[in-house]
């Protein structure tokens, strides 16, 4: 028998507050989900949260999204950018972290300074824009992938993690005549799975969610990633992305459905992935907060 | 092995720094960096004397301070509350759900914010019912800061509490054991054991945050503001963006951006020094 004390009451109140907060976190998503399968006419008239499908549930919104060339193209573009951007970022990050994690590297101090200083100070928006423009990258895929493809923070957390590998492991491999690449790929990387997972996840999120670079560097609609199209549909209420081939009256009703459906389509991949990598990013955050 | 990385930083970080020269020029793309007219500090004095200077500085600083005042303690309180939960399953579930908004893209978050707070949106309607003004909240300059901060908390609460939760799990359980033997209540344990143990983490996080006062998430502001709310929403970096990329006033825009970067550099160096002196924890 548990005694009913003051402290148990507090405990239950805390649990209630937490449950309420958790509810607040998902309510907007639930609202979007049920809106996306509601009858658009009822949806226009509705004023509160949508917590069940209004009218007969319909998949019209999703049908429109997946039959729309611009949106499908945007989705494919995003996937391409995520894969290539993450690959480039990971290669650069791993190399840099490996070099900086080794002892007795000539110039390591200066290189660390060169890299970290960019966290504190930069040229700013316009000078960066002009560099990208002078390189002839405007309106190309490179302007979307390359600027910001490496993050100083990611290099630093990976370096910290590599440093924690026992020296004996690396030295033994070097005694056996392994070169730097062999040490990196056969010794360091196999024991660093969790930091690799974390940093990969960080890059994937960054590229999946990125929109600003495209917005300033790219005008060619065929290169647009999903986020830019989302901005048009969700924030600018533009129907440019799916206007062709639909009559205007139907379009206005459909606009709402498409809006909610496209939000769902864009967030579902991330929502599926993150619970599984959750335990990794807890380690990632911790490694990052350890000071040198 | 360092070559690709150094090349990246040379091209995308250090080459732009050379471009800072245009802050002192009447820059024209046709004449380039080398041949544009030199105007000295004129771009800066124009900015300091303009009507925008006070407004931008005020908005940047108040928006940041409000964000710190609410988001910062929220994450700590959330972590402390989670720490009190006895059921492992409940704790894990709440944590997982609270991380979810962090993984939603800024564009979608702002889309949701707009959907809820525009005229006819769920939150706008709720506000009107409670006696607030009818019409959209998002287009009302009075509410921009509130919307900005609240949506920041919504998106980052769970994620920013991770650091504290990990720090909490590192506290030696024997301390609590001993306190219980001495008859300390849960509340006393929180005040005398948990909080002191969290202090170093809290201070580091606070330094980081204060050092960034002049950097407001401009991407978010750009997505959420409109000419109707410029009065409270426009911050230095969004002004740089508009002047530079929309009005193509490169020299002036770079000067304003440079002013912001220098303030930032100064602030972070200063907070780091302070913390080195008083807490022995510092970033470098």
pLDDT tens by residue, B196-207: 888 888 888 887
The answer to whether residues A225 and A242 belong to one domain is yes
Whether the pLDDT of residue B280 is over 70: the answer is no
Q: Which residue does chain A place closest to B211, by CA atoms?
A: A120
Determine the Cα–Cα distance for residues A40 and A36; give it in Å rounded to an integer.
9
What would the pLDDT profile of B111-132 be if each residue is shown by its tens digit? 999 988 887 788 888 888 887 7
Residues 6+ apart with CB under 8 A from A61: A36, A37, A254, A257, A258, A260, A261, A262
**Contact yes or no for B240 and A125 at CB 8 A:** yes
Q: Among A17, A26, A282, whose Cβ lies nearest the Cβ of B166?
A: A282
**CA–CA min distance B273, chain A (Å):** 15
The answer to whether residues A53 and A145 belong to one domain is no
The answer to whether residues A121 and A218 belong to one domain is yes
Determine the Cα–Cα distance for residues B173 and B177; give it in Å rounded to an integer.
6
The answer to whether residues A133 and A44 belong to one domain is no
**Contact yes or no for B245 and A216 at CB 8 A:** yes
B71 touches chain A (CB under 8 A): no
Q: What is the mean pLDDT of residues B157-179?
A: 88
Q: Among A48, A99, A259, whose Cβ lies nearest the Cβ of B125?
A: A48
The answer to whether residues A117 and A217 belong to one domain is yes
pTM for this structure?
0.88
What would the pLDDT profile of B198-256 be if each residue is shown by its tens digit? 888 888 888 778 877 888 888 999 999 888 888 888 999 999 999 888 888 888 899 99
Q: Which of A33, A58, A83 is the last residue of a domain?
A: A58
Say whether B147 sits in a helix, a strand or coil.
helix
Tokens for A208, please give them. 């999946």
Mutate to test the interface with B, among A123, A143, A184, A212 (most CBs of B within 10 A): A123
Determine the Cα–Cα distance for residues A177 and A183; give it in Å rounded to an integer.
10
E strand or H helix at B237: helix B236-241
Say whether B171 sits in a helix, a strand or coil.
coil
Mutate to test the interface with B, among A127, A263, A268 (most CBs of B within 10 A): A127
Helices (H) and strands (E) in chain B, counts: 16, 2
The answer to whether residues A70 and A214 belong to one domain is yes
pLDDT of residue A245: 59
**Could you tell me the CATH number of the domain that includes residue A171?**
1.10.3720.10
**Contact yes or no for A121 and B18 at CB 8 A:** no
Q: The complex's ipTM?
A: 0.86
Say whether B127 sits in a helix, a strand or coil.
helix
Q: Which residue does chain B place closest to A123, by CA atoms?
A: B17
Q: Which residue does chain B place closest to A287, by CA atoms?
A: B163
Q: Could you tell me if B213 and B64 are in contact, meaning their C-beta atoms sit under 8 angstroms apart? A: yes
How many CB atoms are closer than 10 A to CB A269? 16
Look at chain A and report how many structural domains it folds into: 2
pLDDT of residue B281: 65
The answer to whether residues A256 and A217 belong to one domain is yes
Domain that residue A247 falls in: 64-289
Of A233, A103, A282, A76, nearest in space to B107 by CA? A233
Which residues 186-245 of B have a C-beta within 8 angstroms of A? Answer: 186, 201, 204, 219, 222-223, 237, 240-241, 244-245
The answer to whether residues A24 and A79 belong to one domain is no
CATH architecture designation of domain B36-279: Orthogonal Bundle (1.10)
The answer to whether residues A107 and A33 belong to one domain is no
The answer to whether residues A103 and A214 belong to one domain is yes
pLDDT of residue A292: 38
CA angle A58, A63, A69 (to 5 degrees): 160
B114 touches chain A (CB under 8 A): yes
HSE of B199 in the Cβ direction (CA atoms, 13 Å)? Answer: 12
The answer to whether residues A256 and A202 belong to one domain is yes
**Contact yes or no for B223 and A131 at CB 8 A:** no
Q: What is the mean pLDDT of residues B42-48?
A: 88
The answer to whether residues A30 and A8 belong to one domain is yes
B119 touches chain A (CB under 8 A): no
Q: Among B258, B282, B283, whose Cβ lies nearest the Cβ of A124?
A: B258
**Contact yes or no for A96 and B5 at CB 8 A:** yes
Tokens for B134, please give them. 């009818």
Determine the Cα–Cα distance for residues A82 and A264; give it in Å rounded to an integer.
19
Quickly list H helices, A152-247.
152-163, 167-175, 180-182, 193-209, 212-217, 226-230
**Contact yes or no for B157 and A21 at CB 8 A:** yes
Domain ranges of chain B: 36-279
Ordered per-residue pLDDT tens for chain A, 292 residues: 455 677 788 888 999 999 999 999 999 999 999 998 888 888 877 777 888 888 888 888 888 888 888 889 999 999 999 999 999 999 999 999 999 988 888 888 888 888 888 888 888 888 899 899 889 888 899 999 998 899 988 898 898 888 888 888 888 888 888 888 888 888 889 888 888 988 998 899 899 989 998 899 998 889 999 999 999 888 877 776 666 656 666 777 778 888 899 999 999 988 888 888 777 766 666 665 544 3
């Amino acid at each position: 028998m548990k005694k009913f004390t003051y402290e148990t009451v507090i405990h239950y109140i805390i649990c209630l507050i937490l449950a309420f907060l958790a509810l607040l976190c998902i309510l907007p998503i639930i609202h979007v989900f049920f809106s996306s399968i509601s009858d658009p006419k009822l949806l226009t008239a509705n004023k509160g949260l949508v917590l069940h499908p209004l009218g007969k549930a319909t998949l019209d919104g999703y049908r429109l999204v997946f039959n729309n060339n611009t949106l499908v193209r945007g989705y494919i573009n995003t996937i391409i950018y995520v894969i290539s951007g993450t690959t480039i970022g990971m290669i650069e990050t791993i190399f840099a972290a490996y070099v900086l994690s080794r002892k007795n590297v000539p110039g390591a101090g200066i290189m660390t300074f060169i890299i970290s200083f960019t966290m504190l100070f930069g040229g700013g928006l316009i000078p960066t824009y002009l560099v990208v423009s002078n390189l002839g990258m405007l309106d190309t895929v490179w302007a979307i992938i390359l600027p910001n493809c490496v993050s100083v923070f990611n290099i630093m957390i990976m370096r910290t993690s590599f440093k924690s590998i026992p020296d004996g492991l690396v030295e033994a491999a070097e005694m056996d005549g392994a070169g730097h690449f062999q040490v990196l790929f056969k010794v360091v990387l196999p024991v660093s799975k969790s930091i690799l997972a974390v940093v990969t996840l960080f890059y994937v999120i960054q590229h999946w969610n990125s929109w600003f670079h495209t917005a300033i560097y790219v005008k060619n609609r065929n290169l647009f990633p999903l986020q830019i199209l989302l901005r048009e549909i969700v924030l600018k209420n533009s129907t440019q992305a799916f206007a062709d081939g639909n009559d205007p009256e139907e379009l206005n009703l459909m606009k709402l459905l498409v809006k909610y459906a496209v939000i769902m389509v864009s967030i579902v991949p991330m929502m599926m992935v993150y619970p599984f990598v959750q335990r990794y990013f807890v380690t990632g955050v911790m490694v990052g907060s350890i000071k040198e | 092995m360092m070559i690709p990385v150094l090349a990246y930083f040379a091209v995308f970080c250090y080459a732009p720094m050379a471009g800072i020269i245009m802050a002192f020029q009447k820059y024209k793309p046709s004449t380039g960096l080398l041949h544009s007219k030199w105007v000295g500090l004129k771009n800066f004095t124009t900015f300091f004397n303009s009507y925008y200077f006070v407004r931008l500085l005020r908005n940047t600083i108040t928006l940041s301070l409000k964000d710190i005042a609410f988001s910062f303690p929220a994450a700590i309180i959330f972590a402390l509350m989670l720490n009190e939960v006895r059921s492992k399953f409940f704790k894990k579930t709440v944590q997982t759900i609270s991380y979810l908004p962090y993984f939603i893209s800024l564009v979608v978050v702002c889309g949701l914010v707009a959907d809820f707070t525009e005229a006819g949106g769920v939150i706008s309607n709720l506000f009107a019912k409670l006696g607030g003004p009818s019409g959209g909240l998002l287009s009302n300059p009075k509410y921009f800061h509130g919307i900005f901060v609240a949506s920041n908390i919504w998106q980052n609460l769970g994620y920013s509490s991770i650091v504290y939760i990990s720090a909490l799990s590192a506290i030696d359980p024997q301390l609590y054991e001993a306190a219980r033997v001495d008859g300390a209540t849960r509340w006393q344990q929180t005040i005398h054991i948990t909080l002191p143990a969290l202090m170093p983490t809290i201070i580091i996080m606070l330094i980081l945050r204060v050092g960034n006062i002049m950097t407001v998430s401009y991407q978010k502001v750009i997505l959420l503001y409109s000419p109707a709310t410029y009065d409270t929403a426009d911050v230095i970096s969004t002004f740089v963006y508009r002047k530079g990329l929309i009005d193509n006033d490169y020299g002036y825009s770079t000067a304003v951006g440079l002013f912001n970067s220098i303030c930032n550099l100064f602030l972070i160096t200063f907070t780091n020094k302070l913390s080195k002196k008083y807490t022995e924890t510092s970033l470098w």
